[in-house]
Amino acid sequence: MPRYHFDIEESGTSLHDEDGEVCGSPQEAETKAKNFAVEMIRHGFNGKTQIRRTIEVREDGGEPFVRVLVLAKVDVERLK
């Protein structure tokens, strides 16, 4: 089965997934990237009020074939 890599970019900084993960198909890798995006939103704020990241999925030795844009913003309005 092919190995897919999930590279992450945020604010001009790129994290290349050197290890990757085995997936049964490009569609499975895309679904995994979407699930990663949800987890980033769930756990990735660390005191920030906004997340803007990109996950690019590529097969071993290949070019990216799908890009998942992760956008989340938290606004707090104090009423008293």
Residue 13 domain-assigned (yes or no)? yes
Mean pLDDT over residues 16-37, rounded? 96
Residue 79 domain-assigned (yes or no)? no
Residue 65 domain-assigned (yes or no)? yes
Residue 24 domain-assigned (yes or no)? yes
For residue 10, pLDDT over 80 is answered with yes
Residue 60 domain-assigned (yes or no)? yes
Write out the H or E segment, with its range, that includes residue 43: helix 26-43
Q: What is the pLDDT of residue 43?
A: 82
Which domain, by its residues, includes 16?
A: 3-73
Q: What are phi and psi of 44, to 5 degrees?
A: -100, 10
Residue 78 domain-assigned (yes or no)? no
For residue 50, pLDDT over 90 is answered with no
Q: What are phi and psi of 53, to 5 degrees?
A: -135, 160
Residue 22 domain-assigned (yes or no)? yes
For residue 73, pLDDT over 90 is answered with no
- Contact partners, residue 37, CB within 8 Å, separation at least 6: 53, 55, 68, 70
Residue 23 domain-assigned (yes or no)? yes
What is the domain count for the chain?
1
